A and B are shown apart, each in its own frame.
Chain A
Amino acid sequence: MISLRHIHKRFGAVTALDDVSLDIGTGEVIALVGENGAGKSTLMNVLYGLYQADSGEVLVKGQPVRLRSPRDAIAQGIGMVHQHFMLVPTLTVAENVVLGREPSRWGRMDMDRACQEVAATCERFGFKLDPRARVDTLSVGSQQKVEIVKALHRGAQVLILDEPTAVLTPQESDDLFRVARGLAAGGRTVVFISHKLREVLSVAERVAVMRRGRLVAEVRAANTRPEELAALMVGESRVPLAEAQTYHPPGGEKLLEAKELRARGEDGRPALQGISLEVHAGEIVGIAGVDGNGQRELAEVLTGLRTLEGGGGNLLGGPLTGLTPAEARRRGVGHVPEDRLWRAVVKAMTVEENVALGRQTQAPFARGLQVDFAGRRERTAALLKAYEVRPPDPEVPLQALSGGNQQKVVVARELDAGPKLLVVVQPTRGLDIGAVAQVQAKLREARDKGAGVLLVSLDLEEVLALADRIYVFFEGRVTGTFTRPEFDEREIGRRMLGTHGEEVAHG
């Protein structure tokens, strides 16, 4: 139905797409996989009219078309659901779906008709959504469905889903896969952009693999193993996926003993409602949970960035109450925060200045009241080399580095301080496979050297791969604790949704 022919796209000196040709048939689920930077999103953005190809053409039903904007793409029956939803949180489902093409009567929006139309679309494709519900009251999974309904409502025949499961629980993902298969069975086409290989193989019929701007392979999902796909993606014959891991019993010294922690979130609502947990030396403790269930606030409390409102405990030989960021660092807490550019680094400063951040008063970064330029340069150069940061230049502004290399700088800095307890939040989000493997290896290495690691990640696969013990968070409470090797993905998923002990409701 759609053919991309010899698409080329360059950004400055970087070739993002190099002679990519891909046919997308009717009624199939096709997956597009590749590392970050491989060109998956760029290719789909060309198809959705967000980028214009430098050369090559797009054919829809055999006819060449010009896609200069998403408007053109939508007119051709192409819809896209972005990783970050483009919904107005304070509007209702119906309002969001009809936004931009509202049915009106006498110049006023006809809300009843909008609701009827949206309800009809939902019914036609088998979605259970209340058109009058406000979007910000919905779960992430339901918000994603609103996005899909929005695209279908505009007549999308081809639906592009960009990393759709990144924010979903396993149950919500399964639900999404069912939806995708249903749409394909009904004659629509679903294009799945992902780098989670197992789920790709379970949902798609055909998988297109991209590497460094080229389409390197197209395979049938039915007779392909994840290892083969991974090898195609990175271009090497053998790639350690989630490497086999042995359990490290918590034999070490107790670094953190938190009791009944209570704190409010940024919006003033109670985020931690009585969290108790422990971290010992020499173990990785994973926090699993759907986004917004108190994980972020826990990390902030432990690093002195958020005020504790109740509960307390002991952190590295001192009280948790009244902790400041400076005091946390003094006691030996390292922190890899979630929002790198906001909280971990100062992007306009140089790499070496960022490496000094947090230890700017200590050797080798300071001598007396002065900055120790030579010491700082030397230490930074050594770290950049050890962590294979590209480019290994201490003097460039940090913002000149790619996201993965920025994250390596942050991890290098925090581990170089020799932390006793390392609080890491979403350490590999947005990194390519190479960087992910390296960051994860460094976390394991820190653990093996006797540090305690508290890992918060929304990617359950990552928590399962790294953690020795797991606490599951739901609405600011611990709803389950698991110890390797008794990790039960299904059970963890249920506890992430707070539905353990009851029937899991699909909807």
Chain B
Amino acid sequence: MGERLRAVLPSVFSVFLALAVCWVFIALTRDAETATGAYLQMLRGGLGDWAQYFESERLTVLTRPLGEAAIKAALLLLTGLSVTVAFKVGLFNIGAQGQMLVGALAAAVAGAQLQLPAVLHIPVAILAACVTGGLWALIAAGLKLARGVHEVISTIMLNWVAVSLVDNWLSVGPLRAGAGTHLSITGTAEIATSAQLPRLLGEMSRLHLGFPLALAVALAIWVWLSRLRSGFETRAVGLGSEAARAAGIPVVRRTAQAMGLAGALAGMAGAVLVLGTEYRYPGGLGAPYGFDGIAISLIGGNHPLGVALSALFFGALRAGGTRMQLLGVHKSYPELIQGLALLFVAGRLVWLALLRPRKVAPVVPTRQPETSPEVPRA
């Protein structure tokens, strides 16, 4: 079995196991027929209703669901990459939610307040979101580097700061569309048409530029981490920061860069949400995608291309989940599947133990016979 295959298999098994467990659960609470039916609906909702297409030849029965899946996948991919990039430098970014939130608001403000041609407006609005998200993440990085504050704690707390700041104050207060008037509108003002991400298939689907953008970003991150010097240095910091320091790698700079990039990616997810589908910052976004990013990243093996696959899969599942409701099955099952898959991936040591070849590979000694057991040093 190839090393690469062995790295991928636990994730694949975990996803299938999660699918099976949820099927059993629906079958137990309802019946097997409903469970299978619900899964088929989910498939149609996520990958298109091919049966109907061959019957009616209406292209939209394919493009609509696929477009929705792609939109969801783009958001999951960007937040997943955010977690992945932080992970590569050895930090656990639980703060993609907050970073996405402030990014979304920045994109909404830039989209609404600026007047620029579309070729400039879109990049500027996305950049604003990236910078805001990045700075938000750098607060956690700064606390970590200067004071040793654990990033899990600080990013979680910054999530709540972001929610309070954006959802509970800015978007319902000073930045509310109807602020100063008596209009009771929630959310910020609508962005200019020039800031809207163009739809790629016109009226046939909501699929917009955000999807290819997210894929391109994933590719760029992969190239950076695997082929560039700075990516190598970043990984070295993540896997052995003291060895990296001794090797003359600027550990502080690489850590700050990676965490800033992680925040920028989450911020970009916020921009894609606002500029692509919402067209304004809705009152009380909450941005659940931030936490999804953790699951997507881990199921994707913290590898940019794996994360892309994982995001595509769960994007389709999410998009299809709404169609489960046709059979009275709750649409949160895709999230349940995702959560279970994460749980099973977390138990991947068990998978690896089961997958270990029976014969010991010649290059990997199983154990050093002379090594005495780990004992605490006096």
B336-378: which have CB < 8 Å to A? 359-360, 362-370, 372-373, 375-378
Name B369's contact: one of A11, A82, A329, A396 (CB within 8 Å).
A11
Question: Of B15-23, B163-171, B234-242, B274-282, which stretch is located at the interface?
Answer: B234-242
A375 interfacial by beta-carbon distance below 8 Å: no
Residues B232 and A11 in contact, CB atoms below 8 Å apart: no
**Contacts A13-B360, A402-B365; is A326 near B248 (CB within 8 Å)?**
yes
Q: How far is it, in angstroms, between the C-alpha of A477 and the C-alpha of B159 when the chains are bound? A: 51
For A337, A346, A400, the residue with the greatest tally of chain B CB atoms inside 10 Å of its CB is: A346
Residues A85 and B377 in contact, CB atoms below 8 Å apart: yes
B203-253: which have CB < 8 Å to A? 227-230, 232-233, 235-236, 239-240, 242-250
For B230, B243, B245, the residue with the greatest tally of chain A CB atoms inside 10 Å of its CB is: B243
Residues B370 and A345 in contact, CB atoms below 8 Å apart: no
Please, which residue of chain B has its CB at the minimum distance from the CB of A362? Answer: B229
For A13, A36, A330, the residue with the greatest tally of chain B CB atoms inside 10 Å of its CB is: A13
Residues A343 and B236 in contact, CB atoms below 8 Å apart: no
Name B229's contact: one of A42, A326, A361 (CB within 8 Å).
A361
Name B364's contact: one of A213, A335, A396 (CB within 8 Å).
A396
Contacts of A213 in B (CB 8 A): 369
Question: Of A214-222, A242-250, A275-283, A352-360, which stretch is located at the interface?
Answer: A352-360
Mind listing 21 A-B residue pairs with CB under 8 Å?
A36-B370, A37-B369, A84-B372, A84-B378, A86-B376, A88-B378, A325-B246, A325-B247, A326-B249, A329-B247, A335-B246, A343-B242, A344-B243, A353-B236, A357-B244, A358-B246, A358-B248, A366-B229, A371-B229, A396-B363, A400-B365
Residues B363 and A360 in contact, CB atoms below 8 Å apart: no
Contacts of A346 in B (CB 8 A): 236, 239-240, 243-244
Name B360's contact: one of A9, A12, A37, A342 (CB within 8 Å).
A12
Residues A357 and B242 in contact, CB atoms below 8 Å apart: no
Nearest CB of A to B79, in Å: 25
Taking beta carbons and an 8 Å cutoff, which residues of A are in contact with B? 9, 11-14, 16, 36-42, 45, 50, 82-89, 135, 143, 162, 213, 303-305, 324-330, 335, 337, 342-349, 353, 356-358, 360-361, 366, 369-371, 391, 393, 396, 400, 402-403
Name A42's contact: one of B239, B364, B369 (CB within 8 Å).
B369
Residues A14 and B366 in contact, CB atoms below 8 Å apart: yes
Contacts of A329 in B (CB 8 A): 247-248
Nearest CB of A to B12, in Å: 22
Q: How far is it, in angstroms, between the C-alpha of A42 and the C-alpha of B368 when the chains are bound? A: 10
Taking beta carbons and an 8 Å cutoff, which residues of B are in contact with A? 227-230, 232-233, 235-236, 239-240, 242-250, 359-360, 362-370, 372-373, 375-378
Nearest CB of A to B297, in Å: 18
For B229, B246, B360, the residue with the greatest tally of chain A CB atoms inside 10 Å of its CB is: B246
Residues B378 and A402 in contact, CB atoms below 8 Å apart: no
The B interface, classified by DSSP as helix, strand, loop or mixed, is loop
Residues A325 and B360 in contact, CB atoms below 8 Å apart: no
**Contacts A12-B367, A42-B370; is A370 near B247 (CB within 8 Å)?**
no
Nearest CB of A to B115, in Å: 37
Contacts of A347 in B (CB 8 A): 239-240
Q: Total contacts A to B, CB within 8 angstroms?
A: 134
Q: Which 7 A-B pairs have the closest CB atoms?
A: A326-B248, A12-B366, A85-B378, A16-B369, A346-B240, A358-B247, A87-B378
Contacts of B370 in A (CB 8 A): 16, 36-42
Known contacts A84-B377, A400-B363, then 19 further A-B pairs from the complex at CB < 8 Å, ordered by chain A residue: A12-B366, A38-B370, A45-B372, A45-B373, A86-B376, A86-B378, A305-B245, A324-B248, A325-B248, A328-B248, A329-B248, A349-B239, A360-B232, A369-B229, A370-B227, A371-B232, A391-B362, A400-B364, A402-B365
Q: How far is it, in angstroms, between the C-alpha of A12 and the C-alpha of B240 when the chains are bound? A: 28
Contacts of A37 in B (CB 8 A): 368-370
Contacts of B375 in A (CB 8 A): 82, 84, 86
Please, which residue of chain A has its CB at the minimum distance from the CB of B246? Answer: A343
Nearest CB of A to B136, in Å: 28
Residues A370 and B242 in contact, CB atoms below 8 Å apart: no
Please, which residue of chain A has its CB at the minimum distance from the CB of B233? Answer: A360
For A37, A45, A357, A369, the residue with the greatest tally of chain B CB atoms inside 10 Å of its CB is: A357
Nearest CB of B to A412, in Å: 15
**Contacts A16-B369, A37-B369, A41-B372; is A342 near B233 (CB within 8 Å)?**
no
Nearest CB of B to A333, in Å: 10
Name A369's contact: one of B230, B362, B377 (CB within 8 Å).
B230
Contacts of B243 in A (CB 8 A): 342-346, 357
Contacts of A358 in B (CB 8 A): 246-248
Nearest CB of A to B243, in Å: 5
Contacts of A348 in B (CB 8 A): 239-240
Nearest CB of B to A419, in Å: 13
Nearest CB of B to A273, in Å: 25
Q: How far is it, in angstroms, between the C-alpha of A45 and the C-alpha of B370 when the chains are bound? A: 10
For B232, B236, B244, B370, the residue with the greatest tally of chain A CB atoms inside 10 Å of its CB is: B370
Q: How far is it, in angstroms, between the C-alpha of A330 and the C-alpha of B247 when the chains are bound? A: 11
Residues A82 and B248 in contact, CB atoms below 8 Å apart: no
Q: How far is it, in angstroms, between the C-alpha of A346 and the C-alpha of B236 when the chains are bound? A: 7
Please, which residue of chain A has its CB at the minimum distance from the CB of B245? Answer: A325
**Contacts A86-B375, A86-B376, A343-B242; is A14 near B369 (CB within 8 Å)?**
yes
Contacts of B245 in A (CB 8 A): 305, 325
Contacts of B230 in A (CB 8 A): 369
Contacts of A342 in B (CB 8 A): 240, 242-243
**Contacts A305-B245, A371-B228; is A349 near B250 (CB within 8 Å)?**
no
Q: How far is it, in angstroms, between the C-alpha of A85 and the C-alpha of B372 when the chains are bound? A: 12
